[in-house]
Structure 1
Amino acid sequence: MSEQPSLLSVTELTVRRGGQLILHNLNFDLKPGEYWSIIGPMGSGKSTFLQALAGQFHAPPGSLERRVPVEFVSFKEESSRFSYSSYFYQQRYQATMSDRADDGYTAIPSLRDFLQATDSPENSALLDRLGLTPLLDRSFIKLSNGQTRKARIGKALLKHPAVLLLDNPFVGLDSTFRKDLTNWLGELANHGLTLVLVNDSADLPAFSTHVAVLNKGKLSWSGPKEDYKPELYAKAVMSAPPILQTKAQPTDFSEAFRLQAVSVRYGDTVILDRLDWVVKAGERWALFGPNGAGKSVLLSLLYGDHPQAYSNYVSVFGYRRGKSGESIWDVKRRIGFVSPELHLYFPPHLTVRQVALSGLTDTLTPPNRVSPETENDLANLLDYFSMPGVDNRSFGTLSAGEQRVVLLIRAFLKNPAVLLLDEPFQAIDSRHVDLARQLIDNFSDKTILFVTHNRNELPESINQLYTLDANMNRVEEDK
């Protein structure tokens, strides 16, 4: 019996991005009935590899052949249909702003517009399975991080590809949907859809048949999953966290935040329902809840991005929003902030240095002047995270994990009194997560709110838990 032809084949493929060599002389064959997990450390070229398979880079003749329809779900959606660079970050919270172009901004597509799904029983069943049907008329940029990821997967599947390439499909999803998605992808594989996934080496899906290990842009191992033996590394010696030379902002408040009977709604849709929460100076909280429960919206009230903070009782640093005369910039200058949504809006042409220093202005642009202390802190933090010499690289040429590390550094650089960290470790490998956790624990004088779906990610110093219930939006405190 003759061997089945490859669905995709790669021969000595080399890819450069922004002058940087990302992939080097790769060879890869994808055969029918194979389901691959692509693994490797942060910055090894995993996402670029999927993009290359999807045909997003120029490939020399003969180095890439695709013989069947292929769809790719990326970490960041940029396409002719939707680009985050057409919008401003706070626009996702402007519930009273028209989503039409006549407001002077680019028209915002609804989820229905974004999906462009025909009204067929098969498509309706797909959207129901993803939990997207109730969200079809909501503006795409007003979806939560997890909801947006589901939408991207749904859009790709609506095109009925033979091969689906998924870059970190489980990032940003709560445990319930993560399990459901794993089972569902397994069902799709059983029905003939070929899958290639970038995912964590510690969590290989049951349906995976093969594993490919990337390291520094080269395939260091590939073969059947049953033959894959994870390399046993001795636990890395952790570098001592750098001590920031920038003077720490003072903790001259007894309460960082106070919310009393806070409600947020868009039309008839209730996002938060009469929440109460007090965060005192120096406390360290974890915020949990399923996708769509309102975690990011809650943080946007505290950070000053959400206009409904002014119609609620939201007190920040002892001053009620809208009553004390403090501006949004008075709030932001004392808070270090990172979130998946903020990540989406950074222009890829900015340098790493510009992105990191933009935290000093609390915008997407860096300041004109930077103190010697801050320059030293930036260099020391990049060294600490094993990223020396990337200062002048374009942000867009970094891997998703490397970009998230740069955004963490951005949040730390001004040595703020408060850190709001919304899913800060997405796409970051375990070694760099350990480094980040150690550094956060070393910030003994800061008030911290940490959002995650994974309790194992929490720094040891996080000792109070706050859980949002998606159905009733009630809050439980877990001691």
Structure 2
Amino acid sequence: MKLSQIHHPLSKTLALSIDDWTLNPTEQWALVGSNGSGKSLVGQLLSGDLKPARGSVSGRPPHVGYVSFEKQQALLEAERYKDDTDFLDRVDTGTPVRELVQQRVRDEARLNELANLLGMTEILDRGFRLLSTGETRKLLLAQALMEQPDLLVLDEPFDGLDQASHASVETLISRLMREGVMVVLLLNRFSELLPEVTHLAYVSQCQLLAQGPREALLEGGALETLHRFHQLPDTLPPRDPSQAVNPPPADQPLVKMNNIRVSYAEKTIIEGLDWQVDAGQHWAVRGPNGCGKTTLLSLVSGDHPQSYANDLRLFGIQRGSGESIWEIKQHIGLVSSNLQLNYRVPISALNMIISGFFDTIGVYTQPSDRQRELGREWLRLIHLEHHANTPIAQLSYGEQRMLLIARAMVKHPPLLILDEPCQGLDEINRQMVLALLNQIGQLGESTLLFVSHHDEDYPDCINHRLEFVPRGDGGFSYRQP
């Protein structure tokens, strides 16, 4: 496959540009670059989802598989459109995984083989809306592989996967490479380069800057030096003094759960969980894909309907006692994949941060001059001030994630809920976010609830752990070592 004289305008000042890039069938490529560098655009170009304004892509194999955050978003929106819960006497859990994987190719034998290789046999008959982020990623990969592609373009294929799933996906991709399937990996982390990758390309500011054999480009750490570490200031932007928020009672735990149970249809997600979070504790919540971590955090954030059916106290308030949801949300900053996927309003980067003052998706109240200035301070801190007026739809997944993190922190909440906050981030932004979270944890203003499948993604301030431990009957027990 050959890309020649590609020029595709993205704005008045930025264009995707590739002079000449040849990918031979015997080569296995990884494209690396920082957040917002243009990796996903190149992935769309390779897959055929993007038609360049000028230039040509020749020799593209006839069958192309493509897995990306954009594909995940499209599937989410399609399933949301088909949600019939309002017309049924039960919750519509969505299209079964079995049907989604076979949407374009029906082959039960192939489906079962892929499900076994990816460790997803147990979720084949589960509805889409019951899937975790990691399970959704495996679904998309299985769907792409059903067509037995000649070219497989994978945008951050390991994000959101637990360790066992990461290993099974890695093994499968390596096997495909050895069998002669041409694979292009789009990666933020150099640590995720598979041994079978023979060639690397590096993209920055939508320009293909370097390409060639893996050893030549990695020699001397030349590619890593193209990244610059973002230094943090000694102090963080202050809180907005005009926001009169009643602090949670000092003598009450932030979260108190007794014998929690959450279920959908015939599937129990959480059962028998007792958990208490006190101010100043910073918790790691650990467990495999699909164990219920995200469900647990949605109970805490006030977004889960079954919170009213459980013995749950947040900030000293019993859920279901007539409290306003805004009484809960005023104390919480939230980062999650679900929130990012649902944040689909036409809004600028600056206003996305400002929306954190109001706990809304979008800004529907006129912000004060002070709130706008604080929003700009957070933009400068995360090095996105040049995107203040850029619509978030034009930003990369990683840049959107950085904005979501700033949005969560802008009001200095007593409780920060961080569900895979480093997902989609390049190595430099990951280091910056972890340093920032560690700084916040040490200041003592905010308590952290942190979920990640990567041990290296936990800030040093974490001092408590809640672990979901698989039981033999398919459920989970809970351990607090």
TM-score, structure 1 length as denominator?
0.89
Cα-to-partner distance string for 1:158-191 (whole Å, 9 max, x where unaligned): 1221101000000000111111211111111122
Q: In the alignment, which residue of structure 1 is the partner of 2:71? A: 77
Equivalent pair of 2:118/2:168 in contact (CA under 8 Å) = no
Equivalent residue letter for 2:377 = N
Give the Cα separation in 2 of the matches to 1:380 and 1:61: 38
Question: Which of 208, 215, 228 is matched with 2:197 structurally?
Answer: 208
Q: What secondary structure sits across from 2:202 in the alignment?
A: strand
Q: What secondary structure sits across from 2:261 in the alignment?
A: strand
1:235: how far off? 7.6
Q: What secondary structure sits across from 1:63 in the alignment?
A: strand
Q: In the alignment, which residue of structure 1 is the partner of 2:305? A: 307
Change (3 A) 1:21 1:85: farther
Quick check: 453-462 or 143-152, which moved more?
453-462
1:317: how far off? 0.7
Equivalent residue letter for 2:68 = S
Question: Structure 2 matches for 1:230-249, cutoff 5 A?
Answer: 230-231=221-222, 233=225, 236=229, 238-240=231-233, 241-247=235-241
Q: In the alignment, which residue of structure 1 is the partner of 2:31? A: 38
Higher helix share: 2
- Establish whether residue 477 from structure 1 lines up as the match of residue 465 from structure 2: no
Aligned CA-pair RMSD? 2.6
Equivalent residue letter for 2:181 = L
Quick check: 462-471 or 44-53, which moved more?
462-471
1:20: how far off? 5.5
Q: Number of paired residues?
A: 462
Change (3 A) 1:237 1:167: closer
- Establish whether residue 291 from structure 1 lines up as the match of residue 289 from structure 2: yes
Give the Cα separation in 2 of the matches to 1:309 and 1:410: 24
Quick check: 151-160 or 230-239, which moved more?
230-239
Question: Which of 105, 109, 120 is matched with 1:121 structurally?
Answer: 109
1:134: how far off? 2.6
Question: Structure 2 matches for 1:206-285, cutoff 5 A?
Answer: 206-229=195-218, 230-231=221-222, 233=225, 236=229, 238-240=231-233, 241-247=235-241, 250-253=247-250, 254-285=252-283
Q: In the alignment, which residue of structure 2 is the partner of 1:433? A: 430
Q: In the alignment, which residue of structure 2 is the partner of 1:363? A: 360
Q: What secondary structure sits across from 1:350 in the alignment?
A: coil
Change (3 A) 1:41 1:448: same
Quick check: 231-240 or 461-470, which moved more?
231-240
Q: In the alignment, which residue of structure 1 is the partner of 2:17? A: 24
Question: Which of 165, 172, 175 is matched with 1:187 structurally?
Answer: 175
Q: In the alignment, which residue of structure 1 is the partner of 2:465? A: 465
Change (3 A) 1:413 1:26: farther
Equivalent pair of 1:352/1:391 in contact (CA under 8 Å) = yes
Question: Structure 2 matches for 1:84-233, cutoff 5 A?
Answer: 84=77, 87=80, 98-99=84-85, 108-115=94-101, 116=103, 117-199=105-187, 200-229=189-218, 230-231=221-222, 233=225
1:142: how far off? 2.6
Q: In the alignment, which residue of structure 1 is the partner of 2:4? A: 11
Give the Cα separation in 2 of the matches to 1:17 and 1:394: 12
Cα-to-partner distance string for 1:12-68 (whole Å, 9 max, x where unaligned): 212233556242234211111211111111211111110111122222465212243
Cα-to-partner distance string for 1:201-247 (whole Å, 9 max, x where unaligned): 23311111111111222222211112222225498472314332414
Q: What secondary structure sits across from 1:264 in the alignment?
A: strand
Change (3 A) 1:196 1:321: same
Change (3 A) 1:415 1:48: same
Equivalent residue letter for 2:406 = I
Q: In the alignment, which residue of structure 1 is the partner of 2:318? A: 320
Quick check: 377-386 or 224-233, which moved more?
224-233
Question: Structure 2 matches for 1:394-433, cutoff 5 A?
Answer: 394-433=391-430
Equivalent pair of 2:346/2:393 in contact (CA under 8 Å) = yes
Q: What secondary structure sits across from 1:155 in the alignment?
A: helix
Equivalent pair of 1:351/1:395 in contact (CA under 8 Å) = yes
Change (3 A) 1:348 1:192: farther
Give the Cα separation in 2 of the matches to 1:101 and 1:312: 25
Equivalent pair of 2:160/2:453 in contact (CA under 8 Å) = yes
Equivalent residue letter for 1:446 = S
Give the Cα separation in 2 of the matches to 1:429 and 1:151: 24
Q: In the alignment, which residue of structure 2 is the partner of 1:4? A: none
Equivalent pair of 1:9/1:29 in contact (CA under 8 Å) = yes
Q: What secondary structure sits across from 2:373 in the alignment?
A: helix
- Establish whether residue 389 from structure 1 lines up as the match of residue 375 from structure 2: no
TM-score, structure 2 length as denominator?
0.89
1:362: how far off? 2.4
Q: What secondary structure sits across from 2:423 in the alignment?
A: coil
Equivalent residue letter for 2:461 = S
Change (3 A) 1:61 1:338: closer
Q: In the alignment, which residue of structure 2 is the partner of 1:5? A: none
Equivalent residue letter for 2:354 = L
Q: What secondary structure sits across from 2:190 in the alignment?
A: coil
Equivalent residue letter for 2:419 = D
Give the Cα separation in 2 of the matches to 1:348 and 1:276: 37
Give the Cα separation in 2 of the matches to 1:98 and 1:396: 28
1:251: how far off? 4.5
1:86: how far off? 7.0
Give the Cα separation in 1 of the matches to 2:382 and 2:314: 32
Give the Cα separation in 2 of the matches to 1:268 and 1:100: 19
Equivalent pair of 1:211/1:228 in contact (CA under 8 Å) = yes
Give the Cα separation in 2 of the matches to 1:368 and 1:9: 50
Give the Cα separation in 2 of the matches to 1:384 and 1:49: 28
1:298: how far off? 0.3
Q: In the alignment, which residue of structure 2 is the partner of 1:3? A: none
Give the Cα separation in 2 of the matches to 1:18 and 1:306: 39
Structure 2, unaligned stretches of length 5 or more? none
Q: In the alignment, which residue of structure 2 is the partner of 1:333? A: 330
Give the Cα separation in 1 of the matches to 2:99 and 2:426: 35
Structure 1, unaligned stretches of length 5 or more? 1-7, 92-96
Q: What secondary structure sits across from 2:338 in the alignment?
A: helix
Give the Cα separation in 2 of the matches to 1:79 and 1:282: 35
Equivalent pair of 1:360/1:366 in contact (CA under 8 Å) = no
Change (3 A) 1:138 1:123: closer
1:411: how far off? 0.7
Equivalent residue letter for 1:300 = S
Equivalent residue letter for 2:319 = R
1:409: how far off? 1.1
